[in-house]
Each structure stands twice: as C-alpha cells, then as structure tokens.
Amino acid sequence: MPLNPPITDWKNLRVWIIGASTGIGAALTKALLKKNARVAVSSRRADALQALVAGHEKNSLVLPLNLTQPEQIVEAEITLVNAWGGYDLVLFVAGDHKPMRSWEIKVAEARHLVEINLMGVVNALPIVITQFLQQQKGHIAIVASVGGYSGLPQALIYGATKAACINMAETLYMDLQPKNIAVTLINPGFVKTPLVEKQIPEQAARLGISEEDVVKKIMLGGTVDGVVDFGELDEAAGSTLWLHDLP
C-alpha cells in the first residue's frame, strides 16, 4: 500500500502554494504552470505574485495574505473555493530565517520566526483540513528543512521551528491518512534562495570575514555530510514535485 496516492498527472490539478512570491515557492509555481496545473499563489506581496503568474492568468489565482492573520487566510480560502470549487493540494512553503547564536538571542526576532515558520502553518491547517474533510480527499505538503533534524550554526530558532514542522507533519499523516487526506513532508537541503543570498553579505560585514568564508565556514561548515555548495531553486522545485510522484 502506498504511503500517499502518487500524483501521476498534474494537468488541471488545483494547487494552492502558500509562500509563492520568492524562492522555492516561486520556482514551484513556475514548474507547476509548465505542467498545466491550476495554481493559486499566496504571500504578502501581491505585486510579486501578479508578476509571477503573468501570462498564465487562466490557470492561476492570486490570493495575497499574511499567514500571521488567520482572518486573511479564511478570506483567501473562500475566494479559492468559490472560484475553483475546492482544491487538491496545499503546499506550505512560507518561511523566514534570521541568523542567531546562543549568546545573541533576540526575543522579538525569535517570536517572529515562530509566528511565520510554525504558527503560520498552524493558522491555516484548520481551514484546509475542514475543506479536505468536506471533499473527502486532499493533500497537504509542508516544506520544512534538513535544519530541523539537528542543530546548525546560526539556526538556533529557525532549526527549532523546522523541527516542530517535521514532528507536526508526521503526526498529521497518522491522523489524516485514514481519512483519505495525504500528507507529504519535504525537507530541502541547502538551497540558494534570495533569502540566503541576502544574508551572505550581511553576515560577512557583521563577522568581518569574506563572503566565501560565510558560505563555507558558517552556513555550510556545520553540515555532517560535507556539503560544499548550495543547491539551485529549480533543483529544489523538481525534487519537491518528484516526491509527490512516489507511491
């Protein structure tokens, strides 16, 4: 018996990507539109979402929202259901990262990461699960991180939020699989997202070291498997879709 029903044909599949305006979310949007899926995109940046789906208006829907505001998620979901009659797959890709060491804990920044990376998913889950129970089918995919499996330099709070997402996704699977709702956990490795590219010069300036040393000694220096460079966004998007093809 398969863990989840494999997705063998993306054409006309109704996909809602939350966190679509940049990084892996944007790369997934482009990949899915090429596969002729119907893609609803959400993030706080309406202008970026409009630009992302330009030329694909017939197969896309722009639903701006702030994941920390549950009422905005409700409004977006109502719009989506009214437009498409429901949806088949929700991808939670939204996230943020702020480098933090144990002697530099900033409570406000830590709370922000928890609100976006963890509570953002929690805010949306009751809405999504209610719809999938009504449909008697659906698929939830949560993008966490390999950083959730063990501690990493600079990832004191980020890693903790991703560890929580991993645990939550595993429990969601146990609860929802008997109800015909699939759950996929996606843990990307070290991917060169716009957020990472922004942080490299910032950390170099703050630490007084070269950008190359930031990448090799700080960002990748604590990896257990000797990672020497970042993966690319299209690789991460392709791997994410490939995971949904698996039985």
pLDDT tens for each residue of 123-164: 999 999 999 999 999 999 999 988 788 887 778 999 899 999
Three-class secondary structure assignment of 176-242:
HHHHCEEEEEECCCCECCHHHHHHHHHHHHHHCCCHHHHHHHHHCCCCCCCCCCCECHHHHHHHHHH
Distances (CA, A) of 187 to 59, 83, 107, 148, 215: 28, 31, 26, 8, 20
pLDDT tens for each residue of 1-33: 457 888 889 999 999 999 998 888 998 999 999
Ranges of H-type helices in the chain: 23-34, 46-52, 70-84, 107-113, 120-135, 156-176, 194-207, 211-213, 233-245
Distance CA 93, CA 136 (A): 24
pLDDT > 70? residue 227: no
**63: which residues sit within 8 A by CB, 6+ positions away?**
16, 40, 41, 42, 49, 76, 79, 80
* pTM beyond 0.85, yes or no: no
pLDDT > 50? residue 37: yes
The segment with the largest mean pLDDT, out of 53-57, 196-200, 218-222, is 53-57
CB atoms within 10 A of CB 52: 23
